[in-house]
Amino acid sequence: MEFPEKVTINEMVLRDGLQLEKKLLSVEEKKILFSSLQEAGVKSFELGSFVHPKLVPQMANSGELFEKIAREDMDLIGLVPNLKGAERAKEFGVDRINFVFSASDTHNMQNVQKTTAESIEELKKINEFCERNEMVLTVTIATSFGCPFEGDISKKRILATIEQLVGLTIGDITLADTTGMANPKQVYELLKEVKNSFPEQTFNLHFHNTRGMGLANILAGLQAGVTGFDTALGGLGGCPFAPGATGNVCTEDVVHMLHSMGIQTDIRLEGLLKASALLENMIGHQNSSYLLKAGPYNRKYPVPVSN
């Protein structure tokens, strides 16, 4: 098996991770959590989203958070659902945005009240806006591996959807497993076909661990040649508009797996564990991190002595 020497982790806890939490974190709390992750070596963040605060109140202070964080040597990304969201992001000085739409019409209607085709037309407007304002635009295609409403999503539909993005000024395209329906064989086969069909395009992956398949699916993505993954500290997160959409794949668990395999991330694991413990204190409950409970694999324990 061939694996890359290095992988890029995009930290999602401040956006996808917090958007289902009952406790609404203040800007100062979010800034403290950000600083803890920054100290651990994390350099790429989806920091917040510019959606209507009534729909996702956890993200209502995203603009203020962007204004209060220094951006040198950091990739700080704001999620936008439409052109209005892109315009609001620009008002707060955001220069890198991620537009999300679904491969599934039904999920897209639940999420943004548009068909997939209508969202792609919206994307074209956002693309023009970003070109005029020198903003970097990336795209995430949700439900790429299955939809909780429609079931399986065919390779043909994913390829046809990506084909419609060719010609736009888009950076990375992320394929997202929004409700944890993917399996490793499916991930490997889809990504090999996608990468072969669009060799000039960079693809990343975004997995949820709904059915415990997250790490296995990342392994399949690595084998298919993917080197960029979205993860969330403590395994927090989920889509507010999809039933059963539990948390993202846990950052510290992913980094531990990669480092165990000799794959570099430039992230310090002990720093992540400190940030994960801090996160538990902030949200007031345990997170889903295996590593926070068990510790790294190379931790030395005392040998029991028999009486």
pLDDT number for residue 59:
96
pLDDT computed for residue 297 by the predictor:
72
| Catalytic-labelled residue, pool 130, 147, 239, 250 | 239
Domains of the chain, residue spans: 8-294
Q: Is 130 part of the annotated catalytic residue set?
A: no
**pLDDT at residue number 299:** 56
Do 134 and 98 contact (CB within 8 A), yes or no? no
Provide the whole-model pTM. 0.94
Q: Which amino acid is at 246?
A: T
**Statement: residue 296 has pLDDT above 90:** no
Fold of 8-294: TIM Barrel (3.20.20)
The structure tokens listed for 177 are 């497993």
pLDDT at 134 over 50: yes
Question: 298 falls in which pLDDT band (50, 70, 90)?
Answer: low
Over residues 244-265, mean pLDDT: 92
pLDDT at 304 over 80: no
**What's the Cα-to-Cα distance from 113 to each of 56, 176, 182, 260, rounded to whole Å?**
15, 19, 25, 43
Q: Is the pLDDT of residue 7 over 80?
A: yes
pLDDT at 184 exceeding the cut of 50: yes
